[in-house]
Amino acid sequence: MDLEKYKTINSATREESENFDKIRCNNVYRPIFHVTPPHGLLNDPNGFCYFNNEYHLFYQWYPFGTIHGMKHWMHLTSSDLYSWQEHGSKITPIEQYESHGAYSGAAFIEDNSAYLFYTGNVKHGNERDANQCLATLHKDNRVEKSSHNPIISSFPKGYTGHVRDPKIVKKGDLYYMLLGAQREKDLKGSIIIYSSNNLIDWSLKGELSIDIDADFNEAFMFECPDLLEVDGKDVLIFSPQGISPKQEKFHNRYNVVYCIGKIDWASLTFTVTHWDELDRGFDFYAPQTMANSPIEPTLIAWAGTDNNLPSEQYGWVNCLTAPRKLSIQDNKLHQTLVPMNEHNAKPSLASSELASGEVIRLESLSFSLDIDYAQTSNLSIIISDDFDHEFIFTVDNKNNKLVMDRTHYNHNSKEYEFGSIRSCILTKKSSALTLSCDQSIIELFSDQGRNVFTSLFFPSNGNQYLKITFDEISEIKATLQYINKI
């Protein structure tokens, strides 16, 4: 065990603190309207909620380097979901029940009180324990760990130490806790459920049966379960690890799926009417929806990867996606960007100015591009530094396919371990795209969020260009807006 990486921010030396300040001031590759760590590594979003008239967000954070070390919960607040104020680590793993990290979890809001549930990670050599823990978020932004911790000690019989990521929902007079888990008998992934009548004392109810289990029998772990209601339907989201690619789906190291249907708490079954991969891009994992949302159901996720990334040389790595509104149309989950304040957007390109193949020199790599076009059209969007290194998006309506291609935009002169092309089959002809770009992250939404692709990318420091090509007989409307610093 590498003991050096299991230290907390409380033990930072003066020299380390001075280096943190230098990293914070370096903006190379750093997005302006996406959450990034001030220094070190960011991964899963945690505790996402609306409380005390503002948005709260935490994320998994290792302060000392760009590796997965001792996880803290960094705390942020916002009034608009784009401009975030940091409050530092609010769950720092200093207790025995979390001796090797405060792992992921979620918020639960009730009676004007905010509760944070998380997993305390404890390692014993090559073995691990998983303790479920509780903390209270106060109105002055203090976070107080419960004196009852751990509220669930260790892991239940029949499962390994890989039990984590609590999500709390309430039905009637009972609270339910969903946890990602791994069975002991076959080392396969599952979701287990506990119940409580007071948020402190929990008893195991059993394992959730999902009637698409056969599609995920090879998964060795289910992480980050989430359950919410969208447009009157239950939506279950989880992150299965270890599934093989299936046609256009599941080409990343780890993937995320959603299921639309109905949960039966008595029988612990989830009847699925539709399921799909949540995001088809290269860098999307561990999404979390907002508790107590005052707007539409809203999601945010980790945009990251285990590959070596260029930002590591500047002392930080990974970011979160932009916040996304969720809706259901034609029994399919749609994701669209939460609108940004108008004063942050600077209009640049009107549709009348656009010709197929025209090259536009970009003023900034923080922009939004909206395109409407005929359903019979084929369309390509190219972002490039010198047109030898190109990031390409293609709508092929004739073959009903949407493609993201970064083959010629290799960020580290090394082959991508999990390929360089992602695609999806269009169940409907595409007629609209929104491309959101922010320095080193791209999010593509087709047809009001029916299909979504998220990817990190790391352009050179030189000029950047945009080119849109389309069928000459087609008419398109395009609007390019630059995003000012939030």
Provide DSSP, 292-352.
T-SSS-EEEEEE--SS--GGGGGTEE-EEPPPEEEEEETTEEEEEEPPPPGGGEEEEE-GG
Query: Residue 264: which domain range?
Result: 3-337
What's the CATH code of the domain at 370? 2.60.120.560
* 323 lies in the same domain as 427: no
Statement to judge: residues 326 and 354 lie in one domain: no
Looking at the 3D structure of the chain, how many domains does it have?
A: 2
Do 121 and 268 fall into the same domain? yes
Give me the CATH number covering residue 90.
2.115.10.20
Q: Give yes or no: residues 126 and 235 share one domain.
A: yes
Q: 398 and 266 in one domain?
A: no
Catalytic residue among 2, 21, 44, 186: 44
Q: How far is CA 416 from CA 29, 299, 439, in A?
A: 19, 28, 20
Q: Taking the mean position of all CA atoms in its chain, how far away is CA 217?
A: 24
Whether residues 49 and 166 fall in one domain: yes
What DSSP element (H or E) covers 21? helix 14-25
| 89 and 235 co-located in one domain | yes
Sheet holding 102-110, edge to edge: 102-110, 113-124, 127-137, 143-145
Structure tokens at 163: 């039990």
User: Quick one: 311 and 348 in the same domain?
Assistant: no
pTM exceeds 0.85: yes
Residue 273 in tokens: 């009417």
Picking from 94, 145, 102, 140, the residue whose alpha carbon sits closest to that of residue 120 is 102
Peptide bond into 150 cis (omega under 30): yes
Euclidean distance between CA atoms 373 and 469, whole angstroms: 12
**Which of 316, 337, 358 is at the close of a domain?**
337
Q: Which of 284, 305, 337 is the last residue of a domain?
A: 337
Q: Starting at the edge strand that comes first in sequence, how are the strands of the sheet with 54-62 ordered?
A: 84-91, 72-78, 54-62, 40-51, 316-317
Please confirm, yes or no, whether 186 is among the known catalytic residues.
no
Same domain, 234 and 260: yes
Contacts of 245 (CB under 8 A, 6+ apart): 251
Would you list the DSSP string of 395-428?
A: EETTTTEEEEEEEE--SSSS--TT-SEEEEE-SS
* CB-neighbour burial class of residue 205 (10 A; exposed 0-12, middle 13-18, buried 19+): middle
Specify whether the CB–CB gap between 319 and 35 falls below 8 A.
Answer: yes
Residue ending a domain, among 337, 353, 383, is 337
Residues 262 and 378 in one domain: no
Q: Are residues 206 and 300 in the same domain?
A: yes
Q: Are residues 355 and 289 in the same domain?
A: no
Tens place of pLDDT for every residue, the chain, 486 residues?
Answer: 566 799 999 999 999 999 999 999 989 999 999 999 999 999 999 999 999 999 999 999 999 999 999 999 999 999 999 999 999 999 999 999 999 999 999 999 999 999 999 999 999 988 899 999 999 999 999 999 999 999 999 999 999 999 999 999 999 999 999 999 999 999 999 999 999 999 999 999 999 999 986 778 899 999 999 999 999 999 999 999 999 998 899 998 889 999 999 999 999 999 999 999 999 999 999 999 999 999 999 999 999 876 789 999 999 999 999 999 999 999 999 999 999 986 566 666 655 556 778 889 999 999 999 998 877 778 899 999 877 788 999 998 888 899 999 988 765 544 467 888 999 998 877 888 999 999 999 999 998 899 999 999 888 877 899 999 887 666 788 889 999 876
